[in-house]
Amino acid sequence: MKHYFGNYKFSWLIIGVILYLSFFTPPKTELDTVTNIDKLAHICMYGGLCSIIWIEYLRTHASIHRLHTLIGAILLPIALSGAIELLQEYATTNRSGDWADMIANSIGVCTAALLGYFVFPRWVNRGGKG
């Protein structure tokens, strides 16, 4: 269990930030008038999260274990996204769930997965602990 917390410190930090941003009441700004700006924010949040997961994974593993990355860097972030959207809809009064947000989150995750598999391994210094 320590492996999941110790090797993924920045990933957990980003998850905490996403949880906070998902449940606080955002201030009104001029950007609210830009069509789908929130979808771009969702793509960036989840693309960023999954990029960090991939980078932390690659730094501590000598090779890519496809099942581990499928679960930890793709399926779990998408499941987190869905859970947050359901909680926003049914457990808050200041937010509403939006399946289009979950689609945007999934686009961010899938984009990061492609980068994580094909691009990041060339850039990351692989420590290869596992």
- Taking only the tens place, the pLDDT of each residue in 8-29 is 999 999 999 999 999 998 888 8
Instruction: Check residue 118 and give its pLDDT.
Output: 95
Instruction: Check residue 130 and give its pLDDT.
Output: 46
CA distances from 92 to 18, 22, 103 (A): 16, 11, 21
Is the pLDDT reported for residue 128 higher than 60?
no
Q: How far is CA 111 from the centre of its chain?
A: 11
Is the pLDDT reported for residue 45 higher than 70?
yes
Q: What is the CA radius of gyration of the chain?
A: 16
Average pLDDT for residues 65-84, to the nearest whole number? 97
Distance CA 8, CA 1 (A): 11
Average pLDDT for residues 108-115, to the nearest whole number? 98
Nearest to 49 by CA among 123, 128, 116: 116
Going by the DSSP 8-state scheme, the letter that residue 32 receives in this structure is G
Average pLDDT for residues 45-62, to the nearest whole number? 96
What is the token pair recorded at 2?
């320590």
117 contacts 69 by C-beta, under 8 angstroms: yes
